Amino acid sequence: MALFRNRSLQTKINLVIVCVLLAFFALYSFVNYRQQRALMIDEAVEKARIIGAEAIRVRQYISTQLQEGKVALSMERYGLVPQVVSNRIGSLVAADLGYRVRQVSDRYRNPDNAPDAVESRLLRELAADPTLPGIHRITTIDKEPVFRYLQPLIAEQSCLECHGDPKDAPAFLHQKFPPEQDKSYHYTVGEVIGAVSVSIPMQRLQERTIAKVRTDLLHSGGILLGLMAG
């Protein structure tokens, strides 16, 4: 308090005002950062939902086209299986964007679709509550922070041809994945078969948030300095 003792009353008042302004500035910056971050997560969920919706629509569209064009699936046309088309297009788009998009299941048919630890955990949560539209988490992959989102894929009647009784499945499927080892059968309508899994590096999402918070801080800092100078 020695600093205070020899000052005039005016200086003391000024110091108190500066401290109050600084405290407000700190509080404002904190609230602003929190708001921007919440907005960033909302936007990321929206992006992931668009990717999930596209995956489901691509599968449905190809499926209808194959039926209307009377195209029979076979081993040679494995790349035209609606599920495979949707999965592969997802990975191609993801590579373009620097994201990762996969279709995973804990009872996978193709080992490439095996879930990682985070996906397994989120799949269990989705299976426990099939009404959830999706779940997101922020975790790390190779120590890098990543936004993860899983959108459930629910079994419909049309899925059961290849995911119901193995006897109903096309021959090429038996040939490629012998039914005794294939865990992707015996589903019933309404069950969660798996999920579209979207991973977006947090760095990609944060770039804009950090820029926005920085400009906001510069503006409010400038106003604060102006006030103090006055």
By CB under 6 A, name the binding residues for ligand HEC.
73, 81, 83-84, 87, 103, 105, 108-110, 112-113, 153, 155-156, 158-159, 161-163, 173, 184, 193-194
Shorter beta-carbon distance to ligand HEC: residue 40 or 85: 85
Q: What is the nearest approach in angstroms of ligand HEC to the Cβ of residue 51?
A: 15
Q: How far apart are alpha carbons 103 and 25 in whole angstroms?
A: 46
CA distances from 116 to 34, 86, 200 (A): 30, 20, 15
Cβ of residue 202: shortest distance to ligand HEC, in angstroms? 26
Least separation in angstroms between CB 213 and ligand HEC: 38
Cβ-based nearer residue to ligand HEC, 159 or 198? 159
Nearest approach, Cβ of residue 98 and ligand HEC (Å): 22
Whole-number Cα distances in Å, 165 to 100, 109, 202, 218: 32, 14, 42, 63
Number of neighbouring beta carbons within 10 Å of residue 217 = 16
94 within 8 A of 103, measured Cβ to Cβ: no
Residue with Cβ nearer ligand HEC (166 or 201): 166
Longest Cα separation, the chain: 95
Q: Which is nearer to ligand HEC, 58 or 193 (CB)?
A: 193
